[in-house]
Amino acid sequence: MTGGNRYISLGFSEEKFKEGHHIVYIYNDDVERKRTMSKFLQQGLLDNEKVLYLVDDISPDDMRKELLELGVDVEKKQKDFDLTKGHYAHCPGDIFSREFMLGMVGDYYDNAICEGYAGARGAGEMSWALTDGRATVSELLGYEASLNDILEAHPLTTVCQYDARRFDGALLMDLLSVHPMMIVRGQLVKNPCYVAPEIFLKEYNERIHRQTVQHQRDEAP
């Protein structure tokens, strides 16, 4: 299902943006992040969008209480708001699957439109990503890069939240490379580090291959 012609408010910025943006939010201030995300989620509810939040740091019930305190109508708008555990929890065996999640994103937008919503938006906490073997770095980056193509046809406006205190600098730079837009000090800005998905994946795979070959040489007797 195609779309993407609407211009929407993100809630935390006065400017309107085309729906379907793939946004990264690298943060180290939990108070600012929750305030920004609450505005993003509440605006979606006000604009007749289906809203999804994938939580990881705390339980969905605790997150619901925090959002209520921050002014998000999660009780009055229960049928419009899906608050659930993080990405991996929706995959078979609680092990992250790039293909499964990409399909879920597309279906979520399509189902929202079929149900009569004007659009859909979602935000996810990504602290789960490299915990307990749920995903590898290559799987995570492959998912984030491929998500750009999915959102072209199924323009769910998406915010991926990464805690700068939990991810190393090299990985954060790669993550920046696959998100066209980013949140900086509560504002949405064009990401100067963005690389087209097919180019990023080609360069990333070549880099990993070189590193593997070099490691094998270093380990050789």
Q: What is the pLDDT along the chain (221 residues), one digit of tens a residue?
A: 555 579 999 999 889 999 999 999 999 999 999 999 999 999 999 999 999 999 988 889 999 999 999 999 998 899 999 999 888 877 888 888 889 999 999 999 999 999 999 999 999 999 888 887 788 899 999 999 999 999 999 999 999 999 999 999 999 999 999 999 999 988 999 999 999 999 999 998 898 878 877 767 777 67
What is the predicted pLDDT for the residue at 88? 81
What is the predicted pLDDT for the residue at 58? 84
What is the predicted pLDDT for the residue at 215? 64
What is the predicted pLDDT for the residue at 33? 93
The superfamily CATH assigns to domain 7-195 is P-loop containing nucleotide triphosphate hydrolases (3.40.50.300)
What is the predicted pLDDT for the residue at 31? 92
In whole angstroms, give the CA distance from residue 63 to residue 44: 17
Torsion-angle region of residue 192: left (phi > 0), alpha (psi -120 to 50) or beta? alpha
What is the predicted pLDDT for the residue at 211? 81
What is the predicted pLDDT for the residue at 189? 93
What is the predicted pLDDT for the residue at 95? 82
pTM of the model: 0.90
Q: Give the type of residue at 128.
A: W
